Chain A
Amino acid sequence: MLNINSPLLNRRSLLKAAAFTPLAGLALSGCSTKASNSAPANTTVTVTSYGGSYNDQLTQTILNPFAKQSGIKPTLLANTSLAALKAQVQSGDVQWDLVEITAPEYETAVAEGLLEKFDYNIISDKGLPGYAKAEYGIKYLSFLFVMAWDEKVIPDGKAPTDWAQFFDQNRYNTKRSIYNQLSDSSVLEAALLADDVPFEKIYPLDVDRALRVLGQHPGKDKLLYHSANQEPIQQLTSGEVSLSTSFNNRINAARADGAKLNFAPQNAVLAGDYFVVPKGAKNKDAAFKLMNFMSNDAEAGAAFDKVTNLTLANTPALSKLPREIADSLPTSPKLADKILLRDDKWWAQNLKQTEQKFKLWQAS
């Protein structure tokens, strides 16, 4: 009898075991995440940015020297987004420690209570320029939104010097690529500049007028859209378009890699990004230490400015820069009256409605 029953028993226990397998898997995976989190806090710091050439530059000039000096091990991810930050904070499982977001996104994140207050006891504000220091973040980076072109099709001598030329279909019978979102890009400002609105009258932005201008020059059928910072480089080098909006550092990086692209600094739009710490970040002190290093270390800051052609919010770095590089930075006094300063306040209040309007205009 025992012999007859035992295979059945075995089968039953097997079935039961099978039934609990997913649970066991869950338990195991739960253990493994706990194990990895139990590494002592603030010995690592997870940073997120936009990826592409910029991430390499950030690693090389800031993160590597910081790791060497502090012993804190930084990890840089390429998929930064306010949505992911919000999801992490709301779920209580915060994976990121230092997150790059745009200026209007910063205001949204503050309003929604998603951020840790910056600890200016850990971060010395000595190196920070006046515009950069904020309660819940540092506007650590300034960049130029520029018109860029493919030198193989448009030689520099014939390149656009203002946005009216950039959008002029008679001057360039080609497609143009523009950014499909407005949080980081200044497409609407560009359209108004093309319509001869002077710098000081751009804000408050007349969105309808800007869209009307874009619809006439160059017209919707001549516009392509890009949705990532590195995409225009690909569109320009592949010959898909010969004119695109982009950012000064992206074009410089592509040029350094041998791409025949160029951009105009005049009539550019000066804008900036923030580094913030999500509420409940596990390595928040390490993130503040990194911010302190980034804002005050002159050597690292100068290397960053040199390689990227962007201005890091780090005043000591400026004195270490050769004159011609200092003059080419987005915040250079030489450029000040030739460029438009983006109005973060206006955008913070109007981003969502304006994005909706722009999207609807694109779609109709």
Chain B
Amino acid sequence: MATATLERSRPRAGGPSGSAWPRRRRRGGWLLLLAPIVAFDVLFFLTPLGKLVASSFTGGAYARVLADPLVTRSLVNTLTIALTSTVVTVVLGYVIALVLWRSGTVMRVILFAVVLLPFWTGILVKNFAWAVLLQDNGLVNDFLQNIGLTDAPIGLLHNRFAVIVGMVHCLLPYAVFPIFSSLTAIDGRLALAARSLGAGEVSVFRRITLPLSTPGISAAGLLVFIISTGFFITPVVMGGPGDMMIANEIDYYARQLTDFSGAAALAVILTVLVSVIAAVYQRVLKAGGHHETL
């Protein structure tokens, strides 16, 4: 699963030869099965998307939004926040996936439930729960003051730290599952062989587990990064005004400024930016993706 999302399947030796075609054609009727989803996408996704792109090219919208210092700021915010959350999420997700992989059936069920529960909880609920914990008179600050570690509330909410915490909490399952699935694909006999040759735990992890789970890590990284560029609620509930992300800026253009073409231009900019980053990421991975042959 992990590699499939990242790498286009390599052309088979010789490419599609003449003999492969007749079989394909006989199966052509099955393409009709795609019709519902194609029709659905064209009607409800591509048409509105086309309209959005078209409206972004009216009234000099790109020049207008790109001249707005708030836009530059929120673009930079989006990239830094998304990148930070991605790194934190993948590292934490890796640890969880590793524990999941190593634990017995009962423990695994419990841990899966712990990972999945927030996955099934609405993002608003999760964010407000964090806000209750982190605010000045919240549980964390009360606790710190009661045990005498601090004597005044420390600012845990309405800042960059809180945004990252809230986002990582939402993003974790998206990192755990790809990494876990790439870990379970590792042949257990490799570790046994390594140990029989005298390798310690650290060496087994560094030279076998980690390299063999990189497809999972890179899939998780890409997935988490793409999702995190679109966060909207978390910066509103948990961030300060300086943590505005591009989705918030789009909302601001649409609702406060009622500048719909500007909002459309921002949406297109975000989409293009993320697509380019994703494409470069895949290129880089492909260039260095020699572990796959193992």
Contacts and interface: CB of A to CB of B under 8 A. Distances in A.
Contact of A359 (B32, B43, B252): B252
B39 A82 contact: no
B33 A363 contact: no
A26 interface: yes
Nearest to B254: A83
A83 B255 contact: yes
Contacts of B73: 360, 363-364
Interface stretch (B188-196, B223-231, B256-264): B256-264
B35 interface: yes
B39 A19 contact: yes
A350 interface: no
B33 A18 contact: yes
Dominant secondary structure at the A interface: helix
A363 B69 CA distance: 10
A332 interface: no
26 contacts: A18-B35, A19-B32, A19-B36, A20-B39, A82-B258, A83-B254, A83-B260, A87-B260, A90-B260, A108-B258, A181-B256, A221-B155, A224-B158, A225-B241, A238-B135, A240-B136, A240-B137, A360-B69, A360-B70, A360-B73, A363-B70, A363-B74, A363-B241, A363-B242, A364-B73, A364-B242
A58 to B, nearest CB: 22
List the 8 closest pairs (A to B, CB-CB), nearest first: A19-B35, A362-B241, A83-B255, A15-B32, A22-B40, A239-B137, A83-B258, A22-B39
A15 B33 contact: yes
Nearest to A355: B256
Given A15-B32, A20-B39, A181-B256, 8 more contacts: A19-B32, A19-B39, A26-B43, A83-B258, A240-B136, A355-B257, A356-B68, A363-B241
A16 interface: yes
B83 interface: no
A81 interface: yes
A22 B36 contact: yes
A180 interface: yes
Interface in A308-364: 352, 355-356, 359-360, 362-364
Nearest to B39: A22
A331 B248 CA distance: 37
Interface in B253-278: 254-258, 260
B258 A359 contact: no
A238 B240 CA distance: 19
B91 interface: no
Nearest to A235: B135
Interface of B: 29, 32-33, 35-36, 39-40, 43, 68-70, 73-74, 135-137, 155, 158, 236, 240-242, 244, 252, 254-258, 260
Nearest to A21: B36
A86 B260 contact: yes
B269 to A, nearest CB: 18
Contacts of B70: 356, 359-360, 363
Interface in A270-285: none
A227 interface: yes
A240 B237 CA distance: 13
- Determine which residue in A19, A26, A90 has the highest number of CB atoms from chain B within 10 A of its CB, and name it: A19
A12 B35 CA distance: 13
A183 interface: yes
Contacts of A363: 70, 73-74, 241-242, 244
Contact of A15 (B29, B43, B69, B158): B29
Contacts of B68: 356
A293 to B, nearest CB: 30
B152 to A, nearest CB: 9
A175 B68 CA distance: 30
A23 interface: yes
A221 to B, nearest CB: 7
A175 B236 contact: no
Contacts of A16: 32
Nearest to B73: A363
A83 B263 CA distance: 12
B255 A81 contact: yes
A83 B252 CA distance: 10
Nearest to B132: A238
A72 to B, nearest CB: 30
Contacts of A18: 32-33, 35-36
Contact of A362 (B74, B242, B255, B258): B242
Contacts of A90: 260
Contacts of A81: 255
B258 A175 contact: no
A185 to B, nearest CB: 13
Given A87-B260, A183-B256, A224-B158, A22 B69 contact: no
A180 B33 CA distance: 50
A23 B44 CA distance: 11
A90 B155 CA distance: 44
Q: In this complex, which of A180, A183, A227, A356 has the most chain B Cβ atoms within 10 angstroms of its Cβ? A: A356
B257 A23 contact: no
A53 to B, nearest CB: 20
B234 to A, nearest CB: 14
B135 A240 contact: yes
Contacts of B136: 175, 240
Nearest to A225: B241
Nearest to A112: B258
A359 B241 contact: yes
Contacts of B35: 15, 18-19
Interface string A105-127: 00010000000000000000000
